[in-house]
């Protein structure tokens, strides 16, 4: 394993301009293109099983679907991902069981250097995103690097989640804030 890939997987700063990561990107590009061509359901399932790190039973993902690598994504049973999802998985993205993902949701693990010279040189790092069981993310939600959303939480459409959210709440806004407990 190359140094940049090791650093990426460890959550350290790395430069993604690396032949090993480029090969992983080519693999992802081919698999996403095949999936997004909307083959029959059995073929879509086979492609997702090859693309993703783990795919639960009865998972539904509607194309188009985009990701960075695919193999850092774990999706639990009975989870549904609507059209236009973007999962940037330079770090692990974990979705629990029975999660509902609205259209055009973005789950983002990469973050970039604030120092201008290091940013210009291409330094980035990635922090995991974790979505608990039975979470609902409304259309257009953006989940930022390093965020965990607790089970049974609902995030309103268009919200930007910049911090962890506890279990069983409704959160809305930019940045998303808890407006009430659920249940």
The CATH number given to whatever domain includes residue 109 is 2.160.10.10
The reply to whether 183 falls in a domain is: no
Query: Which one of the listed residues 29, 38, 112, 179 is annotated catalytic?
Result: 112
70 lies in a domain? Answer: yes
Q: Decide which of 3 and 149 is more confident.
A: 149
Please report whether residue 83 resides in a domain: yes
72 annotated active-site: no
Share of the chain above pLDDT 70, in %: 99
Mind listing the pLDDT tens digit for each residue in 44-69?
Answer: 999 999 999 999 999 999 999 999 99
| 181 part of a folded domain | no
Total of domains in the chain = 1
CB of 48 within 8 A of CB of 85? no
Tell me the per-residue pLDDT of 82-92, one tens digit each, with 9 for 90 and over.
Answer: 999 999 999 99
pTM for this entry: 0.95
Q: For 145-174, what is the mean pLDDT?
A: 98
Whether residue 179 is contained in a domain is answered as no
pLDDT for the residue 139:
98
Residue 177, in any domain of the structure: no
């Amino acid at each position: 394993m190359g140094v940049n890939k090791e650093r990426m997987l460890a959550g350290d700063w790395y430069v993604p301009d690396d032949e090993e990561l480029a090969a992983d990107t080519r693999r992802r590009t081919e698999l996403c293109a095949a999936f997004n061509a909307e083959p029959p359901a059995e073929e879509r399932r086979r492609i997702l099983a090859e693309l993703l790190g783990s795919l639960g039973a009865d998972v539904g993902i509607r194309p188009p679907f985009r990701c960075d690598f695919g193999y850092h994504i774990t999706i639990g049973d009975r989870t549904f991902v609507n059209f236009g999802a973007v999962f940037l998985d330079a770090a692990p993205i974990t979705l629990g069981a029975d999660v509902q993902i609205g259209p055009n949701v973005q789950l983002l693990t990469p973050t970039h250097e604030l120092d201008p010279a290091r940013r210009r040189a291409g330094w980035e790092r990635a922090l995991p995103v974790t979505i608990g069981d039975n979470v609902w993310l409304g259309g257009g939600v953006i989940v930022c690097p390093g965020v965990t959303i607790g089970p049974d939480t609902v995030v309103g459409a268009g919200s930007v989640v910049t911090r962890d959210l506890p279990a069983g709440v409704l959160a809305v806004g930019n940045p998303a804030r808890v407006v009430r407990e659920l249940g």
